[in-house]
């Protein structure tokens, strides 16, 4: 059973890789663009990410300055997973942080955190 599951995930990831690598590039990038737009919307939504409450973001108005401006994110977070972990639960890096534990406190779903992370990583 375990082997079957393993096989399945391997097959699935190969399929995903093939998908990304060239069989359907136009569709993949369209999806990517839609994801980024959704991520931005969630990041700017006051009831979801509300990132502008504390961070300056290009294209956002009246941003706060409690946290650092979100710029050069790929240089600051070469590892996408580390950025995602920071957005999911910043307490792991700093137990006293004012940043909201978006994941554990269910302010955003896991899928929404993925979308926000994708968007923030492009800044």
Looking at the Cβ atoms of 102 and 121, the one nearer to other proteins is: 102
Give me the least distance between CB of 104 and other proteins, in Å please: 9
Looking at the Cβ atoms of 2 and 47, the one nearer to other proteins is: 47
Q: Is 107 exposed, middle or buried (0-12, 13-18, 19+ CB in 10 A)?
A: middle
Give me the least distance between CB of 64 and other proteins, in Å please: 4
| 1-40 residues near other proteins, rule: CB under 8 A | none
Do 42 and 116 form a contact (C-beta atoms < 8 A)?
A: yes
Which are the contacts of 15, defined by CB distance < 8 A and separation ≥ 6?
none
Which are the contacts of 39, defined by CB distance < 8 A and separation ≥ 6?
115, 116, 117, 118, 119, 120
Total binding residues toward other proteins, as defined by CB under 8 A: 15
What span, in angstroms and rounded, lies between the C-alpha atoms of 43 and 37? 10
| 50-109 residues near other proteins, rule: CB under 8 A | 52-54, 62-66, 91, 98, 100-101, 105-107
Q: Which residues bind other proteins (CB under 8 A)?
A: 52-54, 62-66, 91, 98, 100-101, 105-107
């Amino acid at each position: 059973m375990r082997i079957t599951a393993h096989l399945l995930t391997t097959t699935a990831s190969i399929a995903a890789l093939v998908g990304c690598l060239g069989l359907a590039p136009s569709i993949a990038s369209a999806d990517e663009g839609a994801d980024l737009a959704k991520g931005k919307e969630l990041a700017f939504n006051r009831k979801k990410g509300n990132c502008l409450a504390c961070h300056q973001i290009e294209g956002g108005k009246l941003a706060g300055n409690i946290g650092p401006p979100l710029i050069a994110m790929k240089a600051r977070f070469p590892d996408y997973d580390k950025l995602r972990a920071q957005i999911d639960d910043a307490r792991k890096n700093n137990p006293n942080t004012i940043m909201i534990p978006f994941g554990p406190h269910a302010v955003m779903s896991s899928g929404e955190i993925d979308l926000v992370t994708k968007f923030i990583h492009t800044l």
